[in-house]
Structure formats: structure tokens, C-alpha cells
Amino acid sequence: MPREVPPPTKPEAAGKTVFPEGVDVYRAYLGEEQQRALVQTIEGIVAVAPLYRPAMPRTGKLFSISMTNCGPLGWVSDKAGGYRYQPHHPITVAPWPAMPIQLLDLWADLAAYPAPPEACLINHYSIGTQLGSHIDADEEDFNAPVISVSLGDDAVFHVGGTTRNAPKTRIVLRSGDVVVLGGASRKAYHGLDRIHPHSSDIVPRGGRFNLTLRRVTKPGSSR
Ligand code: MD6
Ligand code: FE
């Protein structure tokens, strides 16, 4: 069914939570059919580039969530090498699958940036998993936003400021919501506290996918 693209959901207009400057939340940016189609696309990617649990730098402690990527580059982490981008899956060593057109289109609509995304980190949250407060800081160009797409179970997301102790705003992200972290919030701390189990049937395997689209290199730079 055709649908109109909603405008950014300005929380102050709804008399609700006010997000820090540079945080834009697009509620229900993807309709149900678009969500289901995107989940199918993601499952096709995961079939080729399996989800795995990366390890933290230095300690080697495993993330509770599992990850994979698509696009020319993918974000990885392990004990020895730390956080970085690389062009291949760390276990299969195959190049990451191509970035799907749905995600290239979404970036073109929302990023206000003159070059396409190079990496899409695919996070999968099963019951009881979370992602601690972090800054996305492994990219070369902080002029590009990071854009996230939520699919599946509802999740409690927090975003604060550029220091760890800045006050945090918490919101529930639902399937189809899109979050843009740009401008003054490009390097804001944020994380995912918990998911609400079985709150959506969009992801057949259960849980929640979060896709984050990133520009890694500066356009025109060779790497
Ligand atoms: C999540 N999101 O929603 C985790 N990063 O599961 C992120 O880490 C994130 O939502 C950069 C920009 C937007 C995000
Ligand atoms: Fe992040």
C-alpha cells in the first residue's frame, strides 16, 4: 500500500521528551511491509555473512549482542585489534555483502551528505542483551551522520552528551523507527538498555535488529 514519508518527529511538538540538538527521531519511518521486506533482505545478508559475537579490545570480553555488516566496509572488534573497519568478515574472511538499495535510498533521503554510506553494522539483540553507552568514533568523517533503523522488538535507547556523565534522555524505539545522530550529537554517548521481549513479530527469529549506516572515509580520499 502506498504511504507518505512522515516528517521528522519533533518531540517538543508532541509535548514529549526533548532530544539533544542533532538527534532526529523519525517514528514509523518504515511501514510494516517495508519493515518485513528489509528483514528479509537482512536475513539474506546474514545467511552469507553470519552473525557472530565480537570481543572487546584488551579484555576480550564478548559483546552480548551479535553482529555482522554489509557494504564495502564493516565495523569489527576483537581483543588484539580493537575497534576498526575492514572490508571482510572476520570469520569467513569473505568481502561483506553489498549494501541493499533500501538502505542506500534511506541514507539519500535523510543523511544530507554528498556521498553514500560505506558500512552498515547489523546488530542483533536477543532477550537479555544490551549495548553499553558508547560514541561512534571510528570513522574519519564526523560531518556525516550515523543513521539507525530499528526492526523487531521495542527497545529502550538512551542518548546523552559528549561526556559520559551528561544527562541522558531515554526513549522506546519501535520497529520502523529511524534515528539520526548528526551535528552536535554525532559524538554523543548513546546505548541500548534493553529490549522488550516478544513485543513485535517483524523479525521471525525473534529479538531486534538495529542497522547503523555509516560513512567511514572522507569522500574523495583514497583508502
Ligand atoms: C541500537 N544504536 O539502537 C544502538 N549509533 O541498538 C546505536 O548505537 C546508534 O541508534 C549511532 C547512531 C544511532 C544509533
Ligand atoms: Fe552507536
Using one digit for the tens of pLDDT, what is the confidence trace for 176-219?
999 999 999 999 999 999 999 999 999 999 999 999 999 999 99
Report how far apart, in Å, the C-alpha atoms of 55 and of each of 79, 80, 213, 214 are: 6, 9, 21, 21
Q: Which pLDDT does position 87 carry in this prediction? A: 98
What are the residues whose beta carbon lies below 5 Å from ligand 2 (ion)?
Answer: 136
Q: What is the pLDDT of residue 16?
A: 59
Element (H, E) at 102: helix 101-110
Q: Is residue 5 part of a domain?
A: no
What is the per-residue pLDDT for 4? 56
Best residue among 157, 189, 203 to mutate for probing ligand 1, ranked by most atoms within 8 Å of CB = 157
For residue 190, the CA-to-ligand 1 centroid distance in Å is 7
The response to whether residue 25 sits with its C-beta less than 6 Å from ligand 1 reads no
Cα 197 to chain centroid, rounded: 19
Cβ of residue 192 lying under 6 Å from some atom of ligand 1: yes
Count how many domains the chain has: 1
- Predicted pLDDT at 19: 86
**219 within a domain of the structure (yes/no):** no
Q: Which long-range contacts (CB under 8 A, 24 or more apart) does 97-101 make?
A: 97/44, 97/45, 97/48, 97/49, 97/70, 98/70, 98/71, 99/70, 99/71, 99/72, 100/38, 100/41, 100/45, 100/70
- Residue 81 lies inside a defined structural domain of this protein: yes
Question: What is the structure's pLDDT at 143?
Answer: 96
Ligand 1 in contact with 46 (CB < 6 A)? no
Spatial separation of the C-alpha atoms in residues 23 and 147, rounded to whole Å: 10
* The pLDDT of residue 17: 73
Q: What is the extent of the structural domain holding 200?
A: 23-214
CATH code for the domain of 136: 2.60.120.590
Q: Within a domain: residue 71? A: yes
pLDDT of residue 57: 97
- Classify residue 123: in a domain, yes or no: yes
Pocket test for ligand 1, best of 42, 124, 192, 212 (most atoms within 8 A of CB): 212
Model's pTM, two decimal places?
Answer: 0.93
Low-confidence ranges of the chain (pLDDT < 50): 1-3, 12-15
Q: What is the per-residue pLDDT for 18?
A: 81
Identify the pLDDT of residue 3: 45
Q: Is position 189 within any domain?
A: yes
* Model pLDDT, residue 1: 43
* 131 belongs to a structural domain: yes
166 within domain boundaries: yes
| Ligand 1 in reach of 210 Cβ (< 6 A) | yes
